[in-house]
A and B are shown apart, each in its own frame.
Chain A
């Protein structure tokens, strides 16, 4: 038999003094108790695809760790009559592959398929994406479009937050020091619906969105009965553009003035200049994307 190329003894020197506690609970109940005790002095580790980048070369500065990766009760996609419930530790890969999500939430699934790369999708979680609250988080715009809500739990208590009330600034949200995000609930569209998703970036993979866009329209006898429009990397938080949604509801697709709606989108967003694109570029792309989205939906509905 061939000799293993592996070293037989570990040669690494473990300092072990730079961190205080590492918790890897097997149940949500234990996790909530630990979070209640440590509050903001503990760092939650989910898929760690953002955490390890944010703390690159200074991981040793994290004193207390709360690792949720072994809590299997937070990994699920469950359908009921009115909605789908997704456990916070469900990965992008699981969302992308879910047969049940196919057809029902195409925009969410398309966004999950565009996150990072295969190596990131297998680890990154929907809960991590939400709690990190990046203005460019790819799942956040579809969750706004579908009007999802998030379950925030503490030991003994829980509350629900609407997606559009959750994000308060770049990487900021309404979560309290003792809360853990445990579940995402997305209502099933009531009528037949069509959607559009696009991620704009400099490359097709491994890129932070320069802009991302999701539109979900529900139709009742070809009149738009509900609209969900959201954009990412277009403001300090992912934003739902309610004013535009109101302009869509009650109309049929052929009654819409695409250019006028594109102009209105431009007015409603507040992008900045950064390494991924200028404010002006983002506004122009938002304008074009709105037009493309409506044309695409129209052509698919014939």
Chain B
């Protein structure tokens, strides 16, 4: 069967089976390997994408359910080659160790800040609770999200001043 979906703004039509996982479709068919497979059972968050605006474990989505969906992966976050503030913050905070969980962490952080631009630490922990870091580098990951929130506030005030 065929499905049509938009990935990082590009519309694509693909042949799939019901048991093609969205994860495999993105990695194998589209070659976007920023999406990782960790546990394959929705417990680790490495395969996180933003699907129709919500955090989604792509290992638990049958491809036909993504028909008509809007998908954002880590590759689609930087606009015109410029990193998103949350990506910059992860670099500046030194939040990346082995890096395997980071695409999911960054997207979870972005989704949280889209909804709540002024999170406290508890909000950040709840927002990232679906993502596991086996290097256990949580402290700096949380710092990075808080830092991104501050960056966005400054950017916002600059834009408002224009």
Contacts and interface: CB of A to CB of B under 8 A. Distances in A.
B and A form one assembly: yes
Interface of A: 2, 4-7, 10-12, 14-16, 18-19, 22, 24, 45, 48-49, 52-53, 56-57, 59-60, 62, 65, 67, 69, 93, 116-120, 122-123, 204-206
Contacts of B108: 118
A15 B19 CA distance: 11
A58 to B, nearest CB: 9
Contact of B57 (A6, A16, A67, A123): A123
Closest 4 CB pairs of A and B: A117-B130, A205-B129, A59-B19, A122-B54
B133 to A, nearest CB: 13
Given A11-B28, A49-B60, 19 more contacts: A6-B75, A7-B31, A11-B29, A12-B15, A12-B28, A15-B17, A16-B17, A45-B62, A48-B61, A48-B62, A59-B18, A59-B21, A60-B17, A65-B62, A67-B64, A116-B130, A119-B56, A122-B55, A122-B56
B18 A117 contact: no
B60 A52 contact: yes
A56 to B, nearest CB: 6
- Which of A2, A22, A57 gathers most chain B CB within 10 Å? A22
Interface of A is mostly: loop
B65 A67 contact: yes
A120 B29 contact: no
Interface of B: 1, 7-8, 10, 12, 14-21, 24-25, 28-32, 40-43, 45, 48, 51, 54-57, 59-62, 64-65, 67, 75, 80-81, 108, 111, 126-127, 129-132
Given A7-B30, A67-B65, A53 B54 contact: no
A12 B29 CA distance: 6
12 contacts: A5-B75, A6-B7, A6-B75, A7-B29, A24-B67, A49-B57, A56-B40, A67-B65, A119-B48, A119-B130, A123-B60, A205-B129
Contacts of A65: 18, 62
A112 to B, nearest CB: 13
A10 B24 CA distance: 12
A2 B80 contact: yes
Contacts of B111: 118
A206 B43 contact: yes
A22 B67 CA distance: 13
Contacts of B129: 117-118, 204-206
A261 to B, nearest CB: 32
Given A48-B60, A53-B42, A118 B19 contact: no
Given A48-B60, A53-B42, A118 B18 contact: no
